[in-house]
Amino acid sequence: MSSIKEKFNQISPSEFFYRNRDLAGFSNPTRSLYTAVREFVENSLDACDQKGIFPDVHLSIKAVDPDAPDPKPYILTVKDNGPGIESKHVPLAFGTVLYGSKFGLKQARGMFGLGATMAILYGQITTNKPVYVKSSTDGKIQDEFELLLDIQKNKPVILKHNTKEVTKRGLSVSICLEGDYAKADSKIKDYVYETSLITPYATITFDDPKGEKFHYSKIVNEMPPAPTIIRPHAHGIDVETIRRMMVESQFEIPNIDDMMIEKVRKDLGLTKKNLTFAGIMDKATKRWKTLSRPVRVVISLMSFLAMDFDKLSKIRIDDIDVPNKKLYYWDFGDSQAKSIDLDSENPYYKQLTGTVQGETLTAFLTKRFQRIGPSTAVKFAEFAGFKPEKRMGSLTNEELVKLSDSLQKFEDFLSPDPSCLAPLGEEPLEKGMKKFFKPDFCAVVQRPASAYSGFPFVVEMGIAYGGEIRPGGPHVYRYANRIPLLYDEGSDVVLKVVNDTDWGRYKVKGDPPFVLVSHICSTRIPYKTVGKENVADRQEIERELRLGLQFLSRKLAAYMSKRGQAEMAKKRANLYAKYLPLISQFCTELSGKTKEPNYKKLLEEEITIDDK
C-alpha cells in the first residue's frame, strides 16, 4: 500500500489534478467549457465582492475556426473591473496549482485559483496554447503575461511579459480550450442569466460564438456587505471538533532546558546577576505583568520547588498531578525521582493548574465560540450541569459527550453570526426578481441564520407569480453561495421541499405562472455529489427552507385570494355587460315598450362597487 503514497508524492499537484480532472468538472468538452466559464466568472465576482467593487464582467467565447465541427478549440476570455493581481503574483497564481489566498471560515463562491488553474491546465492540455493574463491593480500600469504551465514541475513558464499604460483597473484572462459549444450553449446561457439574477449589483455581458450579445445591467446600487472570518457557533458542533479545540486551549509545561532558563533570566532582566531564590521571586512579582505564559509557568514551578536557576537546571519535571496536588520530578544531581506537595494556597497554584488543565469552561466558550458572552456561558454551565470554572482539561470522555450534547440542546445561544455569510439581502433579491420576471406578485424572505454541524447558513427565498412569467411552474431557480445550480435538480433538498408543498392549499392551481428562487449561503454547502450541483437534505437546512417557503406561500395565498376576488369581480362585470342588454331587449318587447330601460346605471354601479 505504501507504493500508492509514494506515487502520489512523486507526481506534482498539477499532474495529480490533471489525472483527476473529472472531479473538477472537466470530464468532456461540453462540461469543460461550461466549468471553465463558471470558474473565471466566479473568480471575477468574488474578487470584486471582496473589495466592494460593483462587478462589471465581460465574458466572451469565440471559435478559433467557426466552420469546424464541434468539439473544437474556443478562445474563452473573461474580463473584469476587479482589484487585479499584483504583477509578481501573476505567474504563480495562474501557472501553478494550489496557489491562492487562504480559505478561512467565510463564504466565497469557490476556493480562489484552484478551479481557474484547472481550466488553464485543461486548455493547455487540449490545445497546447498559453494563457494570456492582463492585470492592472492601479488602473495605470497593466502587466501582460503569456504563460504556460510546467505540469511535471508545477511551475509557470513565462513566455512573454510586458507592461502597458491603461486607464482601467482589472483582470482579463484568456485561454484556448477544446469545447463543444453547440451542446453547452443552453447551459452557459442559463448560467449567465441566473447568475445575473442572483448578482443584481453586477453587470454581466456575454458575447457568444454566434455573435449574439447578452447584456444584463446592474439593477441595484447597493453591494451586500462583504463576509468576514469568524469563530464557529455552538449549535451543531460535534465531540471531535471540541476535542480539537481543547488541545488548542491547553498549554504544555515548558521544557526546562538551558535555553528556557536563559529566556527567563533575560525576561526578568537577570542576564548578568545571579540572584537567590527569594530575590528571583521578588523580581518576578514586580515584572509579572510583562511576562509571557511559558516564563510565568517556569516561575510558578520554581516557587513550589523553592529552587534558584542553578538547582532548576539540574532537574526534569515529570508530572503535575493536580487532583492529588503533587509535583513529580527527577533530580539529576542524586539520580532520584522526587515529589513535593502543591500548596493550593500558594498564589502560583492557579497559574500552574490553569496551564495544565486549560481554560475554564466559561473562558473556553466565550473565547472560542461566536455569540457567547460571560453571562450566557454561566447560564449554559448551569444548564449542562458543569461548574463554570470547570477546567476543560479535566473533562472526562463522558463529560465531553455531555458537553457536546448540551451545546446542541441549549436554546439561549444567539443564532449564528451571519457576518461570515454573504446573503444577497431581501431588497436586492426582490428588485432583481421584479426586474427579471416582471411578475404581478413578488415576495422575498431572508431566514435568520442557523447552523448545521457548526457551519452557519442563511436561507433566502423569493416567490413571484403572474405577469410575464411563463406557465408550467413552479420554475425553481436554485443558488448556493450565489452560484446557480443547474444540474442534478432531481435529488436536491430545495426541490424536495417544493415538491412536498401542496400548492392547492395556497390557491395555486393548474399550470401556474410561478417562479421560486432559493439561495443557500453557508461557509460550507453540503453538496451531495462532487459535481456540486445539488444540496443534500440536511435536516437543519430543510427546516429553514420549509419555514421560508411556508412564509412566502402564505403571502402568495393572500395575494391569490385577492387576485381571485378581483378576477371574480371582473368576471361578474363581464357577465352583467353581456346579459343585461339581452334582458333589457327581451323585456322591452314583452312589456310592449319601444324604448329600452336605462340599465346602464346598473353596470356602472356594479363596477364602482368592485373597485373598492
Partner 1 sequence: MTTNKIKDRKQKTKVKQQNIIDALKDHGAKVYGDLDNGQFPKFSIPSRSVSNIVYDKKLRQYILGNSAAVRSSRNSSQLRSFTQLMWLAFFANRLTQEKKSSTLRDVYYSSQAFAIEFEDQSESDNIIVDLEAVLSKPREDFHIFPEERSSIFGDLNIEYTIPGYEGKKMNLSNHPDGYAIGPSLTTAELLDTSAEIVIAIEKGGLFTRFVEEQVDKKFKSIIINTGGQAPRSTRTLLKRLHDELGLPVIILTDGDVYGEHIAMVIKSGSANAAHLRELTVPDAKWVGVWATDIEKFKLPTIPMTESDIKRCHDLQNDPRYQEGIWKKELDVFLKIKRKAELEAFSKYGLTNITDKYLPQKLELAKSL
Task: Give the residues lining the site for partner 1 (CB under 8 A).
Answer: 571-572, 575-576, 579-580, 582-584, 586-593, 597-599, 601-602, 605
141 versus 602: smaller Cβ distance to partner 1: 602
- Which CB atom, from 248 or from 589, has the smaller least distance to partner 1? 589
User: Nearest distance from residue 596's CB to partner 1, in Å?
Assistant: 8
Residue 97 per-residue DSSP state: T
State the pairing for strand pair 326-331/315-321.
antiparallel
C-alpha cell at 238: 460535534
Q: Which is nearer to partner 1, 126 or 584 (CB)?
A: 584
CA-CA distance, 546 to 493, in Å (whole number)? 10
Q: How far is the CB of 509 from partner 1 (least distance, A)?
A: 20
The CB-of-589 to partner 1 minimum distance in angstroms stands at 6
- In whole angstroms, the minimum distance from the beta carbon of 562 to partner 1 comes to 18
**Which of 159, 602 has the CB closer to partner 1?**
602
Report the candidate in 390, 451, 380 with the shortest Cα–Cα distance to residue 413.
380
Closest approach of partner 1 to the CB of residue 610, in Å = 12
Q: How far is the CB of 600 from partner 1 (least distance, A)?
A: 10
Burial label, 333 (beta-carbon count in 10 A; 0-12, 13-18, 19+): exposed
Least distance (Å) between residue 440 CB and partner 1: 23
Helical (H) or strand (E) element with 268: helix 258-268
Closest contact distance (angstroms) between CB of 508 and partner 1 is: 24
Smallest gap from Cβ 576 to partner 1, in A, equals 7
Task: Quote the CA–CA distance of 600 and 607 in Å, as a whole number.
Answer: 11
Q: How far is the CB of 609 from partner 1 (least distance, A)?
A: 11
Q: Which is nearer to partner 1, 247 or 602 (CB)?
A: 602
Residue (259 or 582) nearer to partner 1, CB: 582
Q: How far is the CB of 578 from partner 1 (least distance, A)?
A: 9
Altogether, the residues listed in the chain come to a count of: 612
Question: Cβ contacts of residue 395 below 8 Å, gap of 6+?
Answer: 246, 403
Nearest residue (CB) to partner 1, 468 versus 605: 605
- Residue nearer to partner 1 on the CB measure, 88 or 601: 601
CA-only gyration radius of the chain, Å: 34
- Smallest distance from the beta carbon of 607 to partner 1, in angstroms? 14
Closest to partner 1 by CB, 153 or 570 = 570
Measured between alpha carbons, how far is residue 598 from residues 468, 573, 576 in Å?
Answer: 40, 17, 14
Rank residues 153 and 600 by Cβ distance to partner 1 and give the closer one.
Answer: 600
Comparison of 241 and 588: residue with beta carbon closer to partner 1: 588
- Bridge partners of 61? 76
- Of 100, 82, 91, the closest CA to residue 137 belongs to 82
In the complex with partner 1, the residue whose CB is nearer, 330 or 576, is: 576
3-state helix, strand, coil in the chain (%, to 5): 45, 20, 35
- The SS3 call for residue 526 is coil
Query: What whole-number distance in Å separates Cα of residue 405 and Cα of residue 403?
Result: 5
Maximum Cα–Cα distance across the chain: 139
Those residues with Cβ within 8 angstroms of residue 172's Cβ, 6 or more apart along the chain or in another chain: 77, 78, 79, 80, 132, 133, 134, 135
Q: What is the DSSP string of 200-230?
A: TTSEEEEE-TTS-EEEE----S-PPPPP---
Secondary structure in 3-state letters for 425-491:
CHHHHHHHHHHHHCCCEEEEEECCCEEECCEEEEEEEEEEECCCCCCCCCEEEEEECCEECCCCHHH
How far the first Cα of the chain sits from its last, in Å, is 80
Residue found by looking up cell 319601444 in the block? 594
